[in-house]
Structure 1
């Protein structure tokens, strides 16, 4: 049995306090990760490690420490990371239990650094807020009030506060004066829980808007717990802003960035850093995905600023790395950077960019290893084979996508639990693998061949090709070969979370400041 080198809790803690680069990677699925993990652990499940790690840990000699909770996933992750060319990969001594026994603090839920920071901001700045009942009374009395929803547009569409307009977090300072031009108009900022409404409200306060500004206390959760009704399927979005509004917002946000200690960079600085071998540099474009697609800097990743501040651990999985932000208006990068600086990051905004610098077009595509060559079949061939029997279809998409629609009889399978899944799936003469794009399924072909000894094929272009060909699909949890642990069900999403879960979530958030104090490694600094 191979023994792998280890790093201890004390090693990780010392590196965090020294602000060295730290990549502490939890390779379990998201649901068990959300049950307990260290503050700065990044969740990169073994199931999709190859598809995510190159963008999240871009430098191959980063000191990476991986762990699980005794499931045997971490040693496999070490092997895979070595296979991808990472040279400094070790196991966490004793795994998650070792962290606990060494006195390490453990946190529940996801995106915890950002959520805990939001609570710290409210604690220090006493961010103004109104209860759901107070906001409803303002709306019903036709008071001079606008409600701005700081979440992603798809979250807003799922459920929203009546009259609310979608203005994702990084857009608030740029757009708010246009949406509330009268300084007497009250601005209410909401999200689903607490973090993004606190950060959004405090952004507007920090930027010096003259309006009365409040967070909706406890977001849509608070609204529902007050017995009030949400809207569904709304599509109100922010519009364009005038040049005057843009210039005022740019000046305001530059002052906030300066106060937070955001550093400045030129395009030449950025290019020099991108060539550095000994330091991780993330380049994030914090504008909307639509703007990014029309033109962006080469090697930039599209990360709308509000989500970057909310999910920093997902995008920048190396704590202590350098973060560089770009936009084309001087507002969104400076405001996002002001928060990242307070979150303890070394963060720069690139100044002086010109239109020709935004030379790349199209969506951001994650870098992935060279895909293995496998035998592909068409949807028509799969349909023919299914009519004769003897074929098993394994679907590696997310469980949520599978439940929505899948090929009839296909088995939903977690790649990291393939051996157990194949014990559940009736044996077949041949196997066909699919997912939402075929990228993840392709990685599993050799693994299924090794475990079954049978011919294994990839459905070309995944399940969408089956749907496009007009073949029937089914929905529901019809054939689960693995437990649905790939995603933690957030108590603040969807429209059917139990009241107890919503209240428990709020109670947990209220306790985060105390937990940060016990952990002692956060390095946050609220301005």
Structure 2
């Protein structure tokens, strides 16, 4: 085993952040554990998914990467994996999170914390107008509703929404709002599930010079629910795709003006090679809709819808200190998105608009991933013969628990997808927690590892083969291949270790408890004070 590199102290990491040098702080625990507490600029890179994430999210292989984990996801294993992927600047954080807190470092709970904390700072500096749910509800009941625009992703809007609202994801707001509210006297209310996208959306319209009265819906759908008001489910309303020339001109003028105030620099496509020069990480993001991106985009760009990019910057751009280049074809969305990223301390450029002749690459743009390890595979038809005739679920569980001469199937995919449908009788275990999972599953004649497409399963099968002398196979084509010829099951769910691969956001879904929603709002309200104590953010909010 190669020697581990010298550890980096918390003080050294803090110095890098304060100098705005490039650095990745990689928390390799599962997301639910990461959400319990981490440094402000730590990005979640679960050890279970590291090979599938690293090349896309950390494009330059000599980027300084500081790693910490836990007993299930040791920093040593992550460092070894990153070295195999070609990263040369990987070092452990001295004493991990304990070392960070012992040095006086602040720990932040939750996910997407830089963006959420920034949103709270924006409201505190600008006093972004907001309206209480009760007030907006009364206007709707009276038949005089404002134009309500939901700044979340469409799928979130479709799950639950404010009555009469229209889906206009964040980056689309400035471009399309005048199609919905052409009369400057019409009030506009922006909502999300909680606070951040409501605040950023409302302030975007204000900053871009929309003359209408604009407000955020205070505390979003959480505030609406806590007020005892009814949410809609299954709404489908979206803004018109077409934008009048006069409205487009106003949107473009306003977006470019605020972008320049924030420090965004504009470039042409021909200048990209210089921005991609050596020794500097440059992210190239197309901030338009997924359909527009698929129809034609700039070669080498990745899709990151602008509103979500501002909301989840730590996910899309985990290299703090990197350069971000944004692309659109309308002169509005990249400029407006860039105005926020620049205020968050990123060096931001915009190709806004790109020439149609530059947007020639079609289809999805898959991120670069290494070839999976060579492992033994089994097809779905053979696996069905190994598992034998399907019996009642409880009988199968009893047989597997009693008869150790069995084929044990282990699903290492996301726990939510496993719960929705898995190979009958399969166990679930995150890849990084396979050693503990084997203690629950017990000995078997053979093990078969699966995941949604089978790619992750091959990495996990290679890991598992080092933990057992029994034959280990990867299901060819993954769970999707099984599902084409035989039914999946959702029950019973058999978790070999308690799933921790996803933090359940208190603002998502329709079954959140009141206490959890109230606690979430209290957490958001406290983020500005945490930013002051931490001192590494470099946020500069326009007034």
Give TM-score scaled by structure 1 length.
0.97
Question: What is residue 501 of structure 1 aligned with on the other side?
Answer: 516
Question: What is residue 6 of structure 2 aligned with on the other side?
Answer: 5
Cα displacement string for residues 148-185 of structure 1 (whole angstroms, at most 9, x for unaligned residues): 00001111111111111111000000010001111111
Where 1:495 maps in the other structure, the secondary structure is coil
Where 1:215 maps in the other structure, the secondary structure is strand
Question: What is residue 462 of structure 1 aligned with on the other side?
Answer: 478
User: Which residue, out of 478, 483, 489, partners 2:493?
Assistant: 478
Q: CA RMSD of the aligned region, Å?
A: 1.3
Task: Provide the rounded CA distance (Å) in 1 between the counterparts of 2:216 and 2:365.
Answer: 32
| Larger CA deviation: 218-227 vs 350-359 | 350-359
Task: Provide the rounded CA distance (Å) in 2 between the counterparts of 1:349 and 1:473.
Answer: 46
Cα displacement string for residues 376-408 of structure 1 (whole angstroms, at most 9, x for unaligned residues): 322212111111772111111100111111111
Counterpart contact for 1:40–1:313, Cα < 8 Å = yes
Question: What is residue 311 of structure 2 aligned with on the other side?
Answer: 310
Task: Provide the rounded CA distance (Å) in 2 between the counterparts of 1:458 and 1:419.
Answer: 17
Question: What is residue 395 of structure 2 aligned with on the other side?
Answer: none
Counterpart contact for 2:171–2:305, Cα < 8 Å = yes
Counterpart contact for 1:144–1:185, Cα < 8 Å = no
Question: What is residue 249 of structure 1 aligned with on the other side?
Answer: 251
User: Which residue, out of 262, 266, 269, partners 1:267?
Assistant: 269
Task: Provide the rounded CA distance (Å) in 2 between the counterparts of 1:352 and 1:451.
Answer: 53
Note the C-alpha offset of 1:308.
Answer: 0.1
Please list, as runs of the form range in 1=range in 2, the aligned pairs for 1:40-439 lying within 5 A after superposition.
Answer: 40-69=41-70, 71=72, 73-240=74-241, 241-274=243-276, 276-351=277-352, 353-387=354-388, 390-439=406-455
Task: Provide the rounded CA distance (Å) in 2 between the counterparts of 1:166 and 1:110.
Answer: 24
Note the C-alpha offset of 1:144.
Answer: 4.8
Counterpart contact for 2:265–2:349, Cα < 8 Å = yes
Where 1:282 maps in the other structure, the secondary structure is strand
Question: What is residue 18 of structure 1 aligned with on the other side?
Answer: 19
| Larger CA deviation: 314-323 vs 139-148 | 139-148
Where 1:35 maps in the other structure, the secondary structure is coil
Task: Provide the rounded CA distance (Å) in 1 between the counterparts of 2:365 and 2:34.
Answer: 27
Counterpart contact for 1:257–1:334, Cα < 8 Å = yes
Note the C-alpha offset of 1:351.
Answer: 4.4
Task: Provide the rounded CA distance (Å) in 2 between the counterparts of 1:178 and 1:191.
Answer: 20
Task: Provide the rounded CA distance (Å) in 1 between the counterparts of 2:342 and 2:275.
Answer: 19
Counterpart contact for 2:328–2:352, Cα < 8 Å = no
Q: Structure 1 unaligned segments of length 5 or more: list them.
A: none
Counterpart contact for 1:70–1:95, Cα < 8 Å = no
Question: What is residue 448 of structure 1 aligned with on the other side?
Answer: 464
Note the C-alpha offset of 1:433.
Answer: 1.3
Task: Provide the rounded CA distance (Å) in 1 between the counterparts of 2:528 and 2:493.
Answer: 43
Note the C-alpha offset of 1:287.
Answer: 0.2
Where 1:104 maps in the other structure, the secondary structure is coil
Where 1:90 maps in the other structure, the secondary structure is strand
Question: What is residue 393 of structure 2 aligned with on the other side?
Answer: none
Counterpart contact for 1:408–1:473, Cα < 8 Å = yes
Counterpart contact for 2:170–2:197, Cα < 8 Å = yes
Cα displacement string for residues 166-207 of structure 1 (whole angstroms, at most 9, x for unaligned residues): 110000000100011111111110000000000000000001
Where 1:323 maps in the other structure, the secondary structure is strand
Counterpart contact for 2:283–2:317, Cα < 8 Å = yes
Task: Provide the rounded CA distance (Å) in 2 between the counterparts of 1:383 and 1:304.
Answer: 41
Task: Provide the rounded CA distance (Å) in 2 between the counterparts of 1:520 and 1:476.
Answer: 48
Give TM-score scaled by structure 2 length.
0.95
Note the C-alpha offset of 1:450.
Answer: 1.7
Q: Structure 2 unaligned segments of length 5 or more: list them.
A: 390-404
* Gap change, CA 1:55 and 1:517, over 3 Å in 2: same
Question: What is residue 32 of structure 1 aligned with on the other side?
Answer: 33
Note the C-alpha offset of 1:234.
Answer: 1.2
Where 1:236 maps in the other structure, the secondary structure is coil
